[in-house]
Amino acid sequence: MVGERLNDEASQDAALSVLVVDGNPASRERVREALGAQCVVRFAAGVRDALTALHTQPPDLLVSEVDLTDGSGLALCVEIRATPKLKRLPIMLLTDRASINDKVAGFQAGADDYVVKPLDARLFHARVRLLDRIKRLEKHDLLGA
Amino acid sequence: MSGQTIQHAATIDTPADVKRVLVVDDDPTILELVRHALGRLDRYEVITAVNGADGLQSYFSALPDCVIVDVGMPVMDGFQFVRALRGHSVSANTPIIVLSALTDDNHQTTGALSGVDEYVAKPFKMSVLCAALERALQITPEDRERRIQELAEGSDGE
C-alpha cells in the first residue's frame, strides 16, 4: 500500500492551530475534547466571527458546521476560496447534514473534507491530521519543491 | 447529477458469495471494460457511475461491498469522493481502490491520506485489478483504523 512519508513535515509535530466555527456550545466542547492538547483550538460562533478571526490570525485549518446562526458554512467556504491569502486554507465541514446533495454542495463550495456528525473523537482527530498532511503535500507540489 | 447508472437497487439482494462492486469513472470505455471483465468471473456484480457525485448517489442506493474509482473526474473528483465516503459512518469502512493514470508518489500519498486502500495504475491488467480487489475486500475495519491512525501520526514509514 502507498503512504510515502512527506519530506517537508518538519513542523508536523508542532501544535496545529484550528478555528472551529459552530454555534452550538456542546458541539464546540466535543471538538475541543477530540482535538486535545495537540491542537490550539479557537472558536467562532458564526460566519462574521469566523471571517474576523481568519483575517486577524489565520489558523492552520478550519472546521465548520454548515448551519450557522448568521449564515451558511458553504458561503463561508466560498468567501475563503475567493480571498487570496486564505484560498489554500484546509477546510473540513463537520455537520449534521448527511444527504448526498449536501456533501456534493460542500465540496463544490470549496471544502476539502466532509465529516458527518455524530463525531467519533479518535477518527475526527485523525482526519484533521490527515487533511493537514494532504494540504501540506499540495503546497509542496505547487512550490515545485 | 446525471442520475444515470443506478442499475441495481439496494433492495435487490445478491448471493452472499457475490460481491457488489461500484465502478466510478468518466471514461465509458473503462466502465465497460471493468464491467465485462469482472462480470465474467461470476463472483462480482458491477454497477457504474460517471463522476463522484453520481457515484455517491449510486453508493447510497446500492450499498456496494467495494468501490473502484478514478481520480480525475468532473463535478466531484475521486479523492473528494473517497473523503465523502470515509467521513460518514455508513460508508467509512467500504474497501476503496483507486484506478488512475495519475501515478506519481504525491498522488498516491494523497490517495492514502484520503482513505484509499489500494492504488492501481492505468493502463492496467485485469489480473492486477482483481488482485487489488481481493486484497481490499480482506481489510478489516480494525486494520483500516490502525492505518488511518498511523498515517495521521506520520508514522507510515519511508
Please report, for the domain that includes residue B56, its CATH number. 3.40.50.2300
Q: Please tell me the predicted confidence (pLDDT) of residue A9.
A: 47
Per residue in B42-59, pLDDT (tens digit) is 899 999 999 999 999 999
- On whether residue B71 sits in a domain, the answer given is yes
Residue numbers of the domain that contains B36: 19-153
User: Which helix H or strand E contains B43, and what residues bound it?
Assistant: none
Closest to A20 in 3D by CA, of A100, A115, A102: A115
Query: In sequence order, what are the residues at sequence separation of 6 or more whose Cβ sits closer than 8 angstroms to the Cβ of residue A19?
Result: A41, A42, A43, A44, A50, A53, A54, A59, A61, A62, A63
Share of chain B above pLDDT 70, in %: 88
- On whether residue B13 sits in a domain, the answer given is no
DSSP B86: H
User: Measured between CB atoms, which of A5, A103, A123 is closest to B157?
Assistant: A5
Which residue of A130, A131, A142 to mutate against B (max B Cβ within 10 Å)? A130
Q: Cα(B109)–Cα(B79) distance, rounded to whole angstroms?
A: 11
pLDDT of A116 higher than 50: yes
Mean pLDDT of chain B, nearest integer:
90
**Backbone angles phi and psi of A97, in degrees to 5:** -75, 115
DSSP A119: P
Number of cross-chain residue pairs from A and B with Cβ atoms under 8 Å apart: 101
Q: Would you call A140 and B106 a contact, using CB atoms and an 8 Å cutoff?
A: yes
Query: In sequence order, what are the residues at sequence separation of 6 or more whose Cβ sits closer than 8 angstroms to the Cβ of residue B158?
Result: A4, A5
- On whether residue B114 sits in a domain, the answer given is yes
The count of structural domains within chain B is 1
Confidence grade of residue B108 (pLDDT, cut at 50, 70, 90) = very high
Evaluate whether ipTM surpasses 0.95: no
Q: Which comes out higher in pLDDT, residue A80 or A14? A: A80
H helices of B41-125, in order, are 52-62, 78-86, 105-114
Q: Which of residues 121-140 of A touch B (CB under 8 A)?
A: 122-123, 125-127, 129-130, 133-134, 137-138, 140
- On whether residue B12 sits in a domain, the answer given is no
Q: Which comes out higher in pLDDT, residue B25 or B102? A: B25
Q: Please tell me the predicted confidence (pLDDT) of residue B45.
A: 96
H helices of A69-120, in order, are 73-81, 100-109
Mean pLDDT of chain A, nearest integer:
90
- Give me the CATH code for the A16-142 domain, please: 3.40.50.2300
Q: Please tell me the predicted confidence (pLDDT) of residue A138.
A: 86
The residue extents of the domains of chain A are 16-142
